[in-house]
Amino acid sequence: MKKKASLIALLAVAGVSCALAQAQAAAPVRVKVTLLDHSHVLGTPQLTELALTTTFGEKRIPLNLVSTLVFDKGQAKLTLTSKDILTGTLDGAVLKLITSFGVQPIPYTQIASVTFAGPGAAFAPAGHEQGLLLHAPLDAPDASLAAFKATLETQNAITIDGPLGNKALLFETPDASASIDLPTSPYVMPEGTIEFWAKLPQPRRPFGDGRNQLLLFAVEQEQHQNFYPLILGFNANSGDGKGGLVGIIWGFPSAGTGGGLTVEDTGLLGDTPDGWHHYAFIWKWDGLEFPEAQGYVLSLAIDGKVVASTSEAPYSKDFEHLRLVEAAGRFLIHGGTKHDNRHPVAMSELKIWDHAKLPVVEMP
């Protein structure tokens, strides 16, 4: 029986080898990568073939012959378009994808599966990515967000070059702003991620506390005007002793990096404090689960690295009931609060997800 099984396996590999020999140069294919946190990444692989080491040796398989790739306990299982199945170890440690965010290196250890688009096939548009509640490219002042049942209004926003060969919006003057009306307020969500690219043209301008802070965004509850339960910005003192890049979820201690009274002095943006950087505001009421912030309620990340987290212990339950009732919200950029907004801010590629995740980021 074992000899028969081995013979079948050898014949399958032989058939695959024949197909590989006959395959033409692989045309660029699109892939949909499902990560372990259930989020998706769409893109085009930089490679054109996979090197798989099996019990019968190494096989180099053009991507246009692959249907799906599944990872299980360190092993890769390839299902080919011919319905043949091969299991083994992939060469390398990351899958590099060309995406709308530039080239993204995704470690195999973070991937659950990969689906390859066959000839003429297409994946669901970005609006249908699992858990994606909003994608606002912020590449034009009058862009439509109807696909997400959201609306964008801007005032005195300037279109500039973005971080990824795209366009972005610059809010340069105190009266420049953007407002995005959302069908669901992020504050009422038990977990989520807000990510975007931002550029701060005046990183040496001092920020203080109160009205003089450098505000990146604030979320306003639609039915409670001037109540901003989610805030991210640079601040000398958030009110509970936190400074630097500060993130706030009402009812919990704020998360802050500390250090300096200017963006440059914080050291968070390295040698390019006035360049483009990726920011992420990540929360989960029951405690985050990814290793870099295990058990914390809120984490802030810059360029894919966690820079601050806040404890799981709430200090106030005054507004706890607001989290238990579905409500609309308003995402505000450079406006809508009592702050003077003297610090110019540029922003691009805003995304809001319904789950907590640490984005994979490669700097342009």
Domains of the chain by residue range = 25-122, 127-353
Sign of CA dihedral 74, 93, 108, 70: negative
- What confidence score (pLDDT) does residue 1 get? 44
**pLDDT over 80 (residue 126):** no
User: Residue holding tokens 């080491």?
Assistant: 53
- What confidence score (pLDDT) does residue 210 get? 57
**pLDDT over 90 (residue 224):** no
Q: How confident is the model at residue 3 (pLDDT cuts 50, 70, 90)?
A: very low
* CB distance 61 to 78 below 8 Å: yes
**pLDDT over 70 (residue 175):** yes
DSSP 3-state of 117: coil
Q: Compute CA distances 14 → 83, 285, 308, whole Å.
A: 14, 53, 53
- What confidence score (pLDDT) does residue 163 get? 93
The Cβ of residue 336 has, within 10 Å, a number of other Cβ atoms equal to 21
Looking at residues 36-47, what average pLDDT do you find?
A: 78
DSSP 3-state of 277: strand
- What confidence score (pLDDT) does residue 337 get? 64
**pLDDT over 70 (residue 13):** no
Q: Any idea how long the chain is? A: 364
Q: What are phi and psi of 7, to 5 degrees?
A: -65, -40
Residues facing residue 214 across a β-bridge:
234
- What confidence score (pLDDT) does residue 235 get? 87
**pLDDT over 80 (residue 328):** yes
* CB distance 79 to 118 below 8 Å: no
- What confidence score (pLDDT) does residue 299 get? 97
Which of the residue ranges 23-37, 75-89, 196-210, 256-270 would you say has the lowest mean pLDDT? 23-37
Q: Considering only CA atoms, which of 114, 103, 129 is closest in space to residue 360?
A: 103
DSSP 3-state of 139: coil
- What confidence score (pLDDT) does residue 321 get? 63
Q: How confident is the model at residue 124 (pLDDT cuts 50, 70, 90)?
A: very low
Determine the Cα–Cα distance for residues 230 and 143; give it in Å rounded to an integer.
Answer: 24
pTM exceeding 0.85: no
Q: How confident is the model at residue 306 (pLDDT cuts 50, 70, 90)?
A: very high
Q: How confident is the model at residue 345 (pLDDT cuts 50, 70, 90)?
A: very high
Looking at residues 197-216, what average pLDDT do you find?
A: 85
Q: What are phi and psi of 127, to 5 degrees?
A: -65, -15
Q: How confident is the model at residue 320 (pLDDT cuts 50, 70, 90)?
A: low
- More reliable by pLDDT, 256 or 26: 256
- What confidence score (pLDDT) does residue 23 get? 40
**pLDDT over 60 (residue 121):** no
DSSP 3-state of 9: helix
- More reliable by pLDDT, 191 or 74: 191
Looking at residues 197-212, what average pLDDT do you find?
A: 85
**pLDDT over 50 (residue 10):** no
What counts of helices (H) and strands (E) characterise the chain? 2, 25
Q: What are phi and psi of 145, to 5 degrees?
A: -115, 25
CATH architecture of 127-353: Sandwich (2.60)
- What confidence score (pLDDT) does residue 2 get? 41
- More reliable by pLDDT, 72 or 356: 356
